[in-house]
Protein backbone atom coordinates (compact mmCIF):
# COMPACT_ATOMS: atom_id res chain seq x y z
CA UNK A 1 0.00 0.00 0.00
CA UNK A 2 1.14 3.60 -0.63
CA UNK A 3 2.04 5.68 2.42
CA UNK A 4 3.36 9.24 2.88
CA UNK A 5 6.95 8.08 2.17
CA UNK A 6 5.80 7.36 -1.40
CA UNK A 7 4.44 10.88 -1.91
CA UNK A 8 6.89 13.13 -3.80
CA UNK A 9 7.36 16.50 -2.04
CA UNK A 10 7.89 19.98 -3.44
CA UNK A 11 10.36 21.08 -4.80
CA UNK A 12 11.08 17.70 -6.45
CA UNK A 13 11.38 18.54 -10.18
CA UNK A 14 9.07 15.65 -11.19
CA UNK A 15 6.20 17.80 -9.85
CA UNK A 16 7.05 20.38 -12.55
CA UNK A 17 7.05 17.90 -15.46
CA UNK A 18 4.35 17.57 -18.08
CA UNK A 19 3.40 13.91 -17.56
CA UNK A 20 3.53 11.57 -20.57
CA UNK A 21 0.43 10.27 -22.36
CA UNK A 22 -0.22 6.60 -21.59
CA UNK A 23 0.22 4.69 -24.87
CA UNK A 24 -0.83 1.26 -23.56
CA UNK A 25 -2.96 0.51 -20.51
CA UNK A 26 -0.85 -2.42 -19.32
CA UNK A 27 -1.30 -4.37 -16.09
CA UNK A 28 1.41 -2.39 -14.31
CA UNK A 29 -0.38 0.88 -15.08
CA UNK A 30 -3.71 -0.48 -13.85
CA UNK A 31 -2.09 -1.74 -10.63
CA UNK A 32 -0.39 1.61 -10.03
CA UNK A 33 -3.63 3.54 -10.55
CA UNK A 34 -5.51 1.19 -8.23
CA UNK A 35 -2.80 1.76 -5.58
CA UNK A 36 -3.26 5.53 -5.94
CA UNK A 37 -7.02 5.12 -5.41
CA UNK A 38 -6.38 2.81 -2.45
CA UNK A 39 -4.25 5.53 -0.82
CA UNK A 40 -7.24 7.90 -0.99
CA UNK A 41 -9.64 5.30 0.43
CA UNK A 42 -7.20 4.47 3.27
CA UNK A 43 -6.49 8.14 3.99
CA UNK A 44 -10.19 8.79 4.59
CA UNK A 45 -10.52 5.86 6.98
CA UNK A 46 -9.75 7.30 10.41
CA UNK A 47 -8.24 4.10 11.85
CA UNK A 48 -6.07 3.31 8.81
CA UNK A 49 -4.98 6.94 8.39
CA UNK A 50 -4.01 7.06 12.06
CA UNK A 51 -2.22 3.70 11.95
CA UNK A 52 -0.09 4.56 8.89
CA UNK A 53 0.15 8.35 9.36
CA UNK A 54 -1.67 9.12 6.11
CA UNK A 55 -2.65 12.72 5.27
CA UNK A 56 -6.25 12.69 4.03
CA UNK A 57 -6.60 13.18 0.30
CA UNK A 58 -9.52 13.27 -2.12
CA UNK A 59 -7.37 13.25 -5.24
CA UNK A 60 -3.95 11.98 -6.31
CA UNK A 61 -2.06 12.40 -9.59
CA UNK A 62 0.61 9.99 -10.83
CA UNK A 63 3.54 12.46 -10.67
CA UNK A 64 2.89 12.77 -6.93
CA UNK A 65 3.96 9.15 -6.53
CA UNK A 66 6.88 9.53 -8.92
CA UNK A 67 5.15 8.20 -12.04
CA UNK A 68 5.54 10.07 -15.35
CA UNK A 69 2.06 9.03 -16.52
CA UNK A 70 -1.09 11.06 -17.34
CA UNK A 71 -3.42 9.43 -14.86
CA UNK A 72 -5.17 10.39 -11.64
CA UNK A 73 -7.52 9.02 -9.00
CA UNK A 74 -10.35 10.83 -7.22
CA UNK A 75 -12.22 9.42 -4.24
CA UNK A 76 -14.64 11.65 -2.36
CA UNK A 77 -16.91 10.18 0.29
CA UNK A 78 -20.38 11.52 1.04
CA UNK A 79 -21.76 12.17 4.55
CA UNK A 80 -22.82 8.51 4.76
CA UNK A 81 -19.21 7.35 4.34
CA UNK A 82 -20.06 5.87 0.94
CA UNK A 83 -18.13 6.90 -2.18
CA UNK A 84 -19.79 9.96 -3.71
CA UNK A 85 -17.17 10.30 -6.49
CA UNK A 86 -14.85 7.44 -7.35
CA UNK A 87 -12.73 7.83 -10.53
CA UNK A 88 -9.52 6.43 -12.01
CA UNK A 89 -8.80 8.49 -15.12
CA UNK A 90 -6.27 7.76 -17.87
CA UNK A 91 -5.18 10.52 -20.30
CA UNK A 92 -7.81 12.96 -18.98
CA UNK A 93 -8.54 16.09 -21.06
CA UNK A 94 -10.62 19.20 -20.35
CA UNK A 95 -13.05 19.37 -23.29
CA UNK A 96 -14.83 22.55 -22.19
CA UNK A 97 -15.22 24.74 -19.14
CA UNK A 98 -17.28 27.66 -17.86
CA UNK A 99 -16.00 31.22 -17.97
CA UNK A 100 -17.40 31.59 -14.45
CA UNK A 101 -14.90 30.87 -11.71
CA UNK A 102 -15.07 29.26 -8.28
CA UNK A 103 -12.78 28.72 -5.30
CA UNK A 104 -12.63 26.89 -1.98
CA UNK A 105 -13.10 29.59 0.71
CA UNK A 106 -10.51 27.77 2.86
CA UNK A 107 -7.96 27.78 0.05
CA UNK A 108 -6.22 24.57 -1.04
CA UNK A 109 -3.54 22.24 0.24
CA UNK A 110 -1.53 19.51 -1.43
CA UNK A 111 -0.16 16.16 -0.32
CA UNK A 112 3.09 17.16 -2.04
CA UNK A 113 3.38 20.45 -0.11
CA UNK A 114 4.06 20.06 3.61
CA UNK A 115 3.52 23.68 4.59
CA UNK A 116 0.24 25.60 4.54
CA UNK A 117 0.10 28.24 1.80
CA UNK A 118 -2.89 30.54 2.41
CA UNK A 119 -4.77 32.13 -0.48
CA UNK A 120 -7.68 31.59 -2.83
CA UNK A 121 -7.14 29.33 -5.84
CA UNK A 122 -9.54 30.39 -8.61
CA UNK A 123 -10.70 27.60 -10.89
CA UNK A 124 -13.40 27.08 -13.55
CA UNK A 125 -16.83 26.68 -11.90
CA UNK A 126 -17.74 23.82 -14.31
CA UNK A 127 -15.55 21.52 -16.41
CA UNK A 128 -16.26 18.74 -18.91
CA UNK A 129 -13.47 16.13 -18.83
CA UNK A 130 -13.01 13.10 -21.08
CA UNK A 131 -10.67 10.22 -20.24
CA UNK A 132 -10.23 6.46 -20.53
CA UNK A 133 -11.11 4.18 -17.63
CA UNK A 134 -8.86 1.28 -16.62
CA UNK A 135 -10.64 -0.93 -19.17
CA UNK A 136 -9.75 1.58 -21.90
CA UNK A 137 -13.37 2.70 -22.26
CA UNK A 138 -13.93 6.42 -22.95
CA UNK A 139 -15.72 8.29 -20.16
CA UNK A 140 -17.00 11.85 -19.85
CA UNK A 141 -17.39 13.74 -16.56
CA UNK A 142 -19.35 16.99 -16.20
CA UNK A 143 -18.20 18.42 -12.87
CA UNK A 144 -19.11 21.40 -10.71
CA UNK A 145 -18.54 22.29 -7.06
CA UNK A 146 -15.90 20.41 -5.07
CA UNK A 147 -15.50 17.73 -7.76
CA UNK A 148 -14.65 20.43 -10.33
CA UNK A 149 -12.03 21.90 -7.97
CA UNK A 150 -10.45 18.52 -7.16
CA UNK A 151 -10.41 17.50 -10.83
CA UNK A 152 -8.65 20.74 -11.84
CA UNK A 153 -6.16 20.45 -8.95
CA UNK A 154 -5.22 16.93 -10.13
CA UNK A 155 -5.20 17.85 -13.83
CA UNK A 156 -2.80 20.68 -12.97
CA UNK A 157 -0.42 18.11 -11.45
CA UNK A 158 -0.25 16.35 -14.84
CA UNK A 159 0.98 19.65 -16.34
CA UNK A 160 3.46 20.50 -13.58
CA UNK A 161 1.23 23.22 -12.08
CA UNK A 162 0.98 23.55 -8.29
CA UNK A 163 -2.04 25.11 -6.56
CA UNK A 164 -0.02 28.02 -5.18
CA UNK A 165 0.96 29.04 -8.74
CA UNK A 166 -2.65 30.22 -9.00
CA UNK A 167 -2.72 32.35 -5.85
CA UNK A 168 -2.65 36.11 -6.59
CA UNK A 169 0.53 37.49 -4.99
CA UNK A 170 -0.86 40.99 -4.39
CA UNK A 171 -4.32 40.04 -3.07
CA UNK A 172 -4.20 36.34 -2.11
CA UNK A 173 -7.43 36.41 -0.07
CA UNK A 174 -9.45 38.56 -2.51
CA UNK A 175 -12.14 36.70 -4.51
CA UNK A 176 -12.10 37.75 -8.17
CA UNK A 177 -15.17 39.65 -9.42
CA UNK A 178 -17.95 37.21 -10.23
CA UNK A 179 -16.23 34.20 -8.69
CA UNK A 180 -18.49 32.09 -6.45
CA UNK A 181 -17.26 30.01 -3.48
CA UNK A 182 -17.82 26.25 -3.48
CA UNK A 183 -20.64 25.63 -0.98
Q: In what order do the strands lie in the sheet with 71-77?
A: 59-61, 71-77, 83-97, 126-132, 138-144
CB of 48 to ligand K2U, least distance (A): 15
Query: Would residue 154 show up in a list of annotated catalytic residues for this protein?
Result: yes
Q: Which of 154, 169, 170, 174 is catalytic?
A: 154
* Residues 44, 48, 53, 54, CA torsion sign: negative
Asked if residue 114 lies in contact with residue 9, where contact means CB atoms within 8 angstroms, the answer is yes
Mask for 5-44, x = binds ligand K2U (CB under 6 A):
----------------------------------------
Residues 6 or more apart whose Cβ sits within 8 Å of residue 18: 158, 159, 160
Cβ 152 vs Cβ 145: under 8 Å: no
Using the minimum distance from each CB to Ni ion, give the nearer residue, 110 or 151.
110
56 part of the interface to ligand K2U, by CB under 6 A = yes
Query: Using the rule CB under 6 A, which residue among 29, 92, 154, 164 binds ligand K2U?
Result: 154
- Verify binding: residue 58, ligand K2U, rule CB under 6 A: yes
How many whole angstroms separate alpha carbon 133 and alpha carbon 175? 35
Cite the active site residues.
Answer: 154
Footprint of ligand K2U (CB under 6 A): 56-61, 104, 108-112, 149-150, 153-154, 157
Footprint of Ni ion (CB under 5 A): 110
Amino acid sequence: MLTMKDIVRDPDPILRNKAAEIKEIDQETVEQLKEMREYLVNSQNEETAEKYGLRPGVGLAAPQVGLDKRMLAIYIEGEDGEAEYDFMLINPKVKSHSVAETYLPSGEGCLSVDEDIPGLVHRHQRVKVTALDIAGKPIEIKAKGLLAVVLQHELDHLDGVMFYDRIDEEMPMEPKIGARPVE
